[in-house]
Amino acid sequence: MEKIDVKLAHTSYPIFVGNGIWRRFGEALNQFYGGRQIVVITNERVWRLHGDKLESQLPKQAEKAVLFVPDSEQAKSFEELQRLYTELLSRRFERGALIIGFGGGVVGDLAGFVAATFLRGVPFVQYPTTLLAQVDSSIGGKVGINHPLGKNLIGAFKQPLFVFSDAQLLQTLPDEEIRCGLGEVIKYGLSLDKALFEYLEKKLPAALNKDVAVLSYLINESARIKADIVMQDEKESNLRMVLNFGHTFGHALEADFKFASLKHGEAVILGMKCALQFAVQNGILQREDFERGLRLLNQVPIAFDGKGLDLQRLVQRMTLDKKVKDGKIRLVLIKEIGRHLFYQVEDQRLLKQAFEILTEGK
């Protein structure tokens, strides 16, 4: 079991990473929590597959509850949030209660927001069970829910006591969930780490086939990259925005599909294609790197037909993004593979042109 430390100004916590480390969760928990109440927020599928592993590691003397949420982005709603508050209050959970988010990014975001706000804040542990959550969303403390007008518009920063990522749990994931997680890994390679990008060029087929050694390497590298960014910019005031490469376009697509038929990781992959298109059409990115990036992204299959997209509506959705400042949309772009830049959009017509890559089926 490897440990990656996230050292912040007011707190620090470890990310535990390994293959088959679920048997050591109790050991990690004992280091950080000695209370008597534990709440697991999860979904029925994750609990059916892996609940016995987690349950066997929880202290027998603790008062425990398992609360289920829908297995979809629809769980990140005001209605689910209110229902969870009611469950916790009716069961008389107190300020010392620990909340464990046991699932993918949706579960982690929702459980973390509950922990940040219930009784003005209770302890929290991230136990991610999807590749996307292990390489990205479980790290850094960003939690929240969606609004009908946009993705993650209601949220907070809530750092966990620790993050616990076991690559073994990924073997039960549907192939589409592996693809979604790989989108976030490609994001790191394109915007921050050329060596990781080059590794993906060689090993992406093995990762898609759930090769444990390859996935373990990608989880470790991604966690280290994100931890380093978070330590430099916890509250996303500047540098941390680089982690949104492809997301501003992708969030608009997710909202347009009502957070239902298009998964977050798929939207990020499509959003990165748009970001590459924007950069190359405005002379920021060389054609060779554009083609190279697009070639890697296209190796991740997505069932998506962009012919019916309303491009102007997508641009309008982008104006609601959290990164809009003074009415101007700010993008993360790359100037070459592994090197990013921040760009303020002056002409929104350029955004519409970038979305056209999706209607052309490239």
Catalytic residue among 50, 179, 187, 226: 226
273 is catalytic: no
162-180: pLDDT as tens digits? 999 999 999 999 999 999 9
240 is catalytic: yes
d(CA 210, CA 168): 10
The three-state secondary structure class of 152 is strand
Catalytic residue among 50, 158, 187, 251: 251
Q: What is the mean pLDDT of residues 257-277?
A: 88
Mean pLDDT of the chain, nearest integer:
93
Bridge partners of 125? 100
Least confident range of 28-42, 57-71, 298-312: 298-312
| Superfamily (CATH) of domain 175-359 | Dehydroquinate synthase-like - alpha domain (1.20.1090.10)
Unique residue bearing structure tokens 């444990």: 212
140-164: pLDDT as tens digits? 999 999 988 877 889 999 999 999 9
Confidence at residue 77, expressed as pLDDT on a 0 to 100 scale: 93
Reported as a pLDDT band with limits 50, 70 and 90, residue 232 is very high
Reported as a pLDDT band with limits 50, 70 and 90, residue 326 is low
309 pLDDT above the threshold of 70: yes
226 is catalytic: yes
Q: At what angle do helices 349-359 and 264-281 cross, to 10 degrees?
A: 120
Catalytic residue among 264, 273, 317, 322: 264
120 is catalytic: yes
Annotated binding-site residue numbers for Zn(2+): 184, 247, 264
Q: Where in the chain is the domain with CATH 1.20.1090.10?
A: 175-359
- Amino acid letter, residue 287: R
Catalytic residue among 220, 244, 273, 317: 244
Confidence at residue 260, expressed as pLDDT on a 0 to 100 scale: 65
Q: What is the mean pLDDT of residues 311-333?
A: 83
45 is catalytic: no
147 is catalytic: no
What the block records as the tokens of 316 is 């309008």
356 is catalytic: no
Q: Based on the number of CB atoms within 10 Å of its own CB, is 3 exposed (0-12), middle (13-18) or buried (19 or more)?
A: exposed
34-53: pLDDT as tens digits? 999 999 999 999 999 999 99
261 pLDDT above the threshold of 90: no
Catalytic residue among 142, 158, 263, 322: 142
Confidence at residue 359, expressed as pLDDT on a 0 to 100 scale: 87
The three-state secondary structure class of 11 is coil
20-29: pLDDT as tens digits? 999 999 999 9
Catalytic residue among 73, 80, 234, 236: 236
Confidence at residue 323, expressed as pLDDT on a 0 to 100 scale: 67
Catalytic residue among 50, 247, 263, 292: 247
- Amino acid letter, residue 86: T
Q: Tell the CATH topology of 2-172.
A: Rossmann fold (3.40.50)
Contact of 274 with 355, CB cutoff 8 Å? yes
247 is catalytic: yes
259 pLDDT above the threshold of 80: no
Confidence at residue 205, expressed as pLDDT on a 0 to 100 scale: 97
Q: Where in the chain is the domain with CATH 3.40.50.1970?
A: 2-172
258 pLDDT above the threshold of 80: no
33 pLDDT above the threshold of 70: yes
Confidence at residue 211, expressed as pLDDT on a 0 to 100 scale: 95
Annotated binding-site residue numbers for NAD(+): 105-109, 129-130, 142, 151
Confidence at residue 346, expressed as pLDDT on a 0 to 100 scale: 86
The three-state secondary structure class of 36 is coil
Confidence at residue 255, expressed as pLDDT on a 0 to 100 scale: 82
